[in-house]
Structure 1
Amino acid sequence: MNLYNLIIQDKEEISLNEVFLDSHNREQLTQLIKEHTYIKELQEYGLPVNNKVLLQGNSGCGKTMTAKAVAHALGKSIIILNLSNIVSSRIGETSQNIKMIFDKAARERSVLFLDELDQIGKARGSDDKDVGEMRRLVNTLIQLIDYYPENALLLCATNHPEIIDTAILRRFQLKINYKMPSAEFLDIFYDDLLSRFPEEFQSIERRYEISFAEAKDHALTSVKSALIKKLESRKISQP
């Protein structure tokens, strides 16, 4: 399998201000960015730099956007790998593929973002099939995380931290939790998103108890529907 076919090509640049985060998460990420900005100075004082971060919680609440924003803030390229796409029926091949990508990210000092960590980080022995092979794969991942250089940054994301092997979870110095946004937070999100459109398209029926990603899809679909309706009525009224 070609290494580059495993990497998700995404060059979208996002600033941290564009990511909707609660104050605690924003504070943690700002600290992380500052640590890597002043990494040499911190190392001179023998201070460790957090470089292994787990983004955990609900889907569609900003984990991938966060990874892109951190990379952008540091002026680094990002390597995105969805682990659900890499798992091979031959576990040994999967281990080799992951090692190659870790080596590439460390060599290039990139931000490495592993999405759906739970796909290969499941607790050893939690699956009856190929238990021995899965244990070796988890052990490989633990070793790669352990030896990942401090001047490179590893971000991992999962919607299901409860099924990840505890030995892997212990490797992350920083864990950031993503929850479904409150109605008040969603209103701020809707206001910001809709403000870029003419006022006549801003009055949509707002949905709540959904993720930011779902809210964005809903809002944009509503705006498109209103715009198309306007265009069609204009077409009908023309002689």
Structure 2
Amino acid sequence: MKKLLASYGRDDEFRAVAEQIITEEEKKNNLALAKTLRKTLEGGPSRPSAPKALAPLLPFPEAASDFIERIEPQHTKGDIVLSATNVRVLLGLVKEFRRGEDLRRHGLQTRSKVLFCGPPGCGKTLCAEIFAAELGLPFFVVKLDRLISSYLGETASNIRKIFEFARKQPCVLFFDEFDALARARDESGEHNELRRVVNSLLLFIDQIRPKGFLIAATNLDQSLDPAVWRRFDEVVWFERPDRRMIDRFLRMKFKNVATAFDPTAFASSLEGYSYAEIERVCIQAIKSMIVERRKQVQERDFNRALKDETRRRSNSARLKAGS
């Protein structure tokens, strides 16, 4: 409670502490109190976020332009549901970045190299985008299809160009599907060129002190080279949402949509699904309402959409098992 009061006026911190209190009440089986607290937290007046001052953008270097794409963030922190642990870790990174000068005066470095791990569809890319927007930093995504060259020696040279860019430009540089570059060097069948690429990549990550953040994301953390892990200052794990997080996600998705049923009643049926899969169910149910020219989403719309997603999942699992 002291932490909660101390964080008043700092929205992100206040919410993170409140989430921890609610989670503790749920663990104590004080479900009615936890439900009331969550309803109060989510139903409170939304305070407009202070506009973020964007970092100055340096002239885009020709050397890196083929391998990096700037993405304008389209989402805000209200569009994502994270665990209390991940909220705490990410808030810590934001605070360190904002007080970076103070830390450096004490001979300390900010954490600026972050690895996102977890199954597909659980919010890694969305989180990186929102993280950049919250910091007021431009968001750049590495184009792996162009970065990885078929010519011997060129891939390492291409990686050098984007790391040089990140060293000069305050930004969030995002590597998706990082395992495509940082695959374990002792895997059978990997040729010498890939080993040289991984060696170069490890060296570049070691040496760089980005002016913003380097974020790498992978669905296949078991495929990463063992030497990769210690190169990152922080590792953030994105798990499939639990029932409480699914409940919050459903409320968020139907916040501005009229429904003839309570979508959160389906939270238990959606356990084990990723956010991307749950979102697909919600969108399909809303589409049914629009196509049939109704004013409310019906329970049957959601049921049909859920059956379609279940069929899609079982077919995908069957294909994976056969591969």
Q: TM-score range by the shorter chain?
A: 0.7 to 0.9
Cα distance, 1:24 vs structure 2:
0.3
Sort the Cα spacing of 1:175 and 1:118 in 2 relative to 1 into closer, same or farther, 3 A: same
Write the deviation string for residues 178-206 of structure 1: whole angstroms up to 9, x where unpaired. 11112332121011111111235975994
Output the amino acid matched with 2:104: Q
Q: Paired residue for 2:125?
A: 64
Q: Paired residue for 2:212?
A: 152
Q: Conserved in 1, the CA contact under 8 Å of 2:69 and 2:142?
A: yes
Q: Conserved in 1, the CA contact under 8 Å of 2:63 and 2:161?
A: no
Q: Conserved in 2, the CA contact under 8 Å of 1:202 and 1:223?
A: no
1:193 aligns with one of 233, 244, 253: 253
The whole-number CA distance in structure 2 between the counterparts of 1:20 and 1:204 is 15
Cα distance, 1:3 vs structure 2:
4.2
The whole-number CA distance in structure 1 between the counterparts of 2:84 and 2:90 is 10
Write the deviation string for residues 139-163 of structure 1: whole angstroms up to 9, x where unpaired. 1101111121253311110011111
2:179 aligns with one of 113, 118, 140: 118
Q: Conserved in 1, the CA contact under 8 Å of 2:250 and 2:264?
A: no
Q: Paired residue for 1:229?
A: 292
Q: Conserved in 2, the CA contact under 8 Å of 1:84 and 1:119?
A: no
Q: Conserved in 1, the CA contact under 8 Å of 2:251 and 2:263?
A: no
Partner SS, residue 114 of structure 2: strand
Q: Does structure 1 residue 73 correspond to structure 2 residue 128? A: no
Q: Does structure 1 residue 104 correspond to structure 2 residue 143? A: no
Partner SS, residue 230 of structure 1: coil
The whole-number CA distance in structure 2 between the counterparts of 1:203 and 1:161 is 33
Q: Paired residue for 1:237?
A: none
Q: Paired residue for 1:14?
A: 75
The whole-number CA distance in structure 2 between the counterparts of 1:77 and 1:201 is 41
Cα distance, 1:62 vs structure 2:
0.8
Q: Paired residue for 1:46?
A: 107
Write the deviation string for residues 1-50 of structure 1: whole angstroms up to 9, x where unpaired. 98434334421243334321100010000000110011011111112211
Partner SS, residue 100 of structure 1: helix
Partner SS, residue 12 of structure 1: coil
The whole-number CA distance in structure 2 between the counterparts of 1:214 and 1:85 is 29
Q: TM-score, normalised by structure 1?
A: 0.87
Q: TM-score, normalised by structure 2?
A: 0.66
The whole-number CA distance in structure 2 between the counterparts of 1:34 and 1:14 is 21
Identity %: 30
Q: Does structure 1 residue 88 correspond to structure 2 residue 155? A: no
Deviates more, 1:119-128 or 1:22-31: 119-128
Q: Paired residue for 1:214?
A: 277
The whole-number CA distance in structure 2 between the counterparts of 1:76 and 1:119 is 26
Alignment of 1:149-188 (within 5 A): 149-188=209-248
The whole-number CA distance in structure 2 between the counterparts of 1:47 and 1:41 is 9
Q: Conserved in 2, the CA contact under 8 Å of 1:14 and 1:69?
A: yes
Q: Which runs of 5+ in 2 are unaligned?
A: 1-61, 295-323
The whole-number CA distance in structure 2 between the counterparts of 1:224 and 1:201 is 16
Q: Paired residue for 2:203?
A: 143
Sort the Cα spacing of 1:2 and 1:216 in 2 relative to 1 into closer, same or farther, 3 A: farther
Aligned length: 230
Cα distance, 1:121 vs structure 2:
0.4
Q: Paired residue for 1:23?
A: 84
Partner SS, residue 42 of structure 1: helix
Write the deviation string for residues 118-157 of structure 1: whole angstroms up to 9, x where unpaired. 0010111314242x21111001101111121253311110
The whole-number CA distance in structure 2 between the counterparts of 1:189 and 1:204 is 9
Sort the Cα spacing of 1:33 and 1:203 in 2 relative to 1 into closer, same or farther, 3 A: closer
Cα distance, 1:52 vs structure 2:
0.8
After superposing on structure 2, the runs of 4+ consecutive aligned residues of structure 1 that deviate more than 6 Å are: none
Deviates more, 1:5-14 or 1:139-148: 5-14
Q: Conserved in 2, the CA contact under 8 Å of 1:194 and 1:202?
A: no
Partner SS, residue 199 of structure 1: coil
The whole-number CA distance in structure 2 between the counterparts of 1:85 and 1:193 is 35
Output the amino acid matched with 1:170: R
Partner SS, residue 24 of structure 1: helix
